[in-house]
Structure 1
């Protein structure tokens, strides 16, 4: 028989609001014996003793809090940069006062570029790194690869899907418990495998105790003339009033500001006569330059005042300047919003791949700013997150 009266017991929602945490965080604490609940009635509803909750709150307030908001400290928010590539996401977060404390990237050529620009070499393959070797951090960021989830993986649960690199993000979030995260991926992630892949990912993130937000953002809205849609997923341990940015604070650059004058470009970037004849025979209409000619998968040529999305793989000729030459590596990096001070030590073939695999830096910068601003605001009630 339970001695406590109903008035001395708190509901799951009441405790979430008091501790400013996600319901799934409470469930995890219950399983770990940190803050245990009573189970009442036929539905086995969770109820918490007031004295247990107040003692837990006092204990963790004195200790700095289990889920301490990094914006309440005087030092810079610490972040780790996973699947880092050449460091585009890092640039966006550093421009908002973040301090990178760990980087992981498996590609050696990308490591060379990263080291040339940031002064240290990233750690290797994240799947081979132990969680305890990763330093404490406030924010996890990364542009993880999208891989197909197996039917067995979906049936058994996400932690059994060993073949996906997202598993390593889940592992680090679960073990290190950073206050927030930001993940970047291709637009098609949302609809991959009929939407099941994205559902598994977001359900997993919520099960770890994060309030999750996502949106598809286009590079054209964030200062660069590149039509590049990407899925951005953001999460916080507390229910902050977060809104995705809609545009950059500065006007979008034109191709004239991105492209070098043809007479200053090495002739090795000029198209061969064979390629010239092919694409000019397929273009239906042109316009006054500067323009980017884009060849789609069907072989049709479109002429635009912006660039279609850069690719890491595929033909080097799918994007051409005025239908006469290829983009230089520096121009490709500019289309991603990298500053001209960014060093490109790689050979052209590697540089093109690296630029195509990277992110629109001003877009990441805008998202990072929105995250920092959201964390400065008081969390909202968690009524709509009782899942």
Structure 2
């Protein structure tokens, strides 16, 4: 059975039009044309392929259909026998989804507003057309931008969002605005969070939790969420979740040993701290859960950076002479002032620790993680322009190497599809989570999810 047949079996009646629609949602015509030409059929041109995509001409051979189908994600091995259902809010490129799908979950709803992230998401994660809803602007579901009452919003959410056991959300951190009491009363709002959290994207998550009452949620954000706005933002979030009837794991723990702060450095050679809020519906009386047990899922040995890198990369990833000189002089200027600003130059042959956090701005200059190609740091500023030094200018990571540093694929793999430009890919990986860290959270949660599902069936 071909991969195209597998898709057709999973989606009865799938024909060229449906395949074309799925491909166009992910890939540009240049990529599709190159794929068809690799099959060995010279009949395809941009014009003929464009006609096929529009449904006005051309047919696919079985080999061509197979080649195009391989560009799309296949159902997971446990399809259609899923252990539980989950939704993926502010999904990015699926970093949190990965671990929960790996333990037998079925994603039934995804929300992501960035059109480039949507392309990467759809290129890598199977979305069952019979059981999955894809949404871009979450406010269209929660009606948070419209003057409606709570009950109207909840009814709309219940209609738009499928039932689920686990809610995942990597919501952005925003300032909390306080709505006026008169406006609250005019709209018939009863809940405190409807007032205090209005105008934030957490407010949309809270509305969905209220309407759908999932057994468990996993919320992710940057570590600084705890200190944002002098702690006010985090206080409102925790009070809201308590008001909604959920117990948050390790809620009473803080300080340096706070298990809610998960560092990706335990899984991959990158310092990347995230706050993880795991909540359980109080009325289910599930056993106590703590993220401190996550340590039992740490790998025995962390993969060194050098194993994540390619031996050869294109010249475009090497810093230009002007950019490297700018970064070099900028760092020296701040070092002279006693500041810590500067680039992060890493020798992969010597580095056994962790690199700096990969950020969404990495596409600009790559300064936080630069790969040392033999730059002679002892020669100093006088010999900066020496030809031998210039030949050894550092390079930035490639998008493929970023995929490995974030854990979307293992060393040497190229299985994670990157259908967007380098700039967009850097943004996406820089905004994502360390995949094995959240896969470990999912494995740790698995018995609690199973018990919650079992109780729901009774």
Q: Same fold (TM over 0.5)?
A: yes
Identify which of 199, 205, 217 aligns with 2:235.
199
Which of 105, 116, 139 pairs up with 1:127?
Answer: 139
Is residue 148 of structure 1 aligned with residue 192 of structure 2? no
Rounded to whole Å, the distance in 2 between the matches of 1:154 and 1:258 is 54
Distance 1:154 1:191, change over 3 A: farther
Q: Name the CA shift for 1:239/1:196 in 2 (closer, same or farther; >3 Å).
A: farther
CA contact (8 A) 2:87 2:167 kept: yes
**SS at structure 2 position matched to 1:366:** helix
Which one is further off, 352-361 or 366-375?
366-375
1:116-139: CA deviations, max 9, x gaps?
112448321111114121000000
Cα-to-partner distance string for 1:258-309 (whole Å, 9 max, x where unaligned): 1112xx100001111123334445778xxxxxxxxxxxx9533444532211
Q: Does 1:184 align with 2:217?
A: no
Give the conservation status (yes or no) of the 8 Å contact 1:269–1:328: yes
Tell me how far apart the structure 1 counterparts of residues 116 and 331 of structure 2 sit (CA, whole Å).
36
* Bigger helix fraction: 2
Is 2:82–2:106's contact at 8 Å kept on the other side of the alignment?
A: no
In the alignment, is residue 212 of structure 1 matched against residue 259 of structure 2?
no
Q: TM-score, normalised by structure 1?
A: 0.70
Contact 2:406/2:435 (CA < 8 Å) preserved in 1? yes
Compare relative contact order (CA 8 Å, sep 6+) and give the higher one, 1 or 2: 1
In structure 1, runs of 5+ residues without a counterpart are 1-73, 285-296, 379-387
TM-score, length of structure 2 as denominator length: 0.59
Taking only aligned residues, the RMSD between alpha carbons, in angstroms, comes to: 2.6
CA contact (8 A) 2:177 2:198 kept: no
Alignment correspondent of 1:299: 341
2:249 aligns to what SS in structure 1?
strand
Compared CA separation, residues 116 and 301, structure 1 to 2 (3 A): closer
Q: Which deviations, in whole Å up to 9, do the C-alpha atoms of 1:108-161 show, x marking residues without a partner?
A: 111111111124483211111141210000000010000011244799832123
Equivalents in 2 of 1:135, 1:342: separation in Å?
Answer: 28
What's the CA shift for 1:252?
1.4
Cα distance in 2, alignment partners of residues 153 and 327 from structure 1: 48
Please give the alpha-carbon distance, in whole angstroms, between the structure 2 residues aligned to 1:364 and 1:202.
21
Please give the alpha-carbon distance, in whole angstroms, between the structure 2 residues aligned to 1:126 and 1:133: 11
Change in Cα spacing, 1:159 to 1:106, as seen in structure 2 (3 Å) is same
**What residue number does 1:53 align with?**
none
Does the alignment pair 1:158 with 2:193? yes
Q: 1:341, CA displacement in angstroms?
A: 1.2
Which of 421, 424, 431 is matched with 1:347 structurally?
421
Q: Which residue of 2 aligns with 1:54?
A: none
Equivalent pair of 2:111/2:138 in contact (CA under 8 Å) = yes
- The structure with the greater share of residues assigned to strand is 1
Counterpart residue number, 1:17: none
Structure 1 Cα separation of the partners of residues 320 and 358 of structure 2: 21
- Aligned match of 1:43: none
Q: Distance in 1 between matches of 2:180 and 2:279?
A: 23
Q: Separation in 2 of the partners of 1:100 and 1:349? A: 28
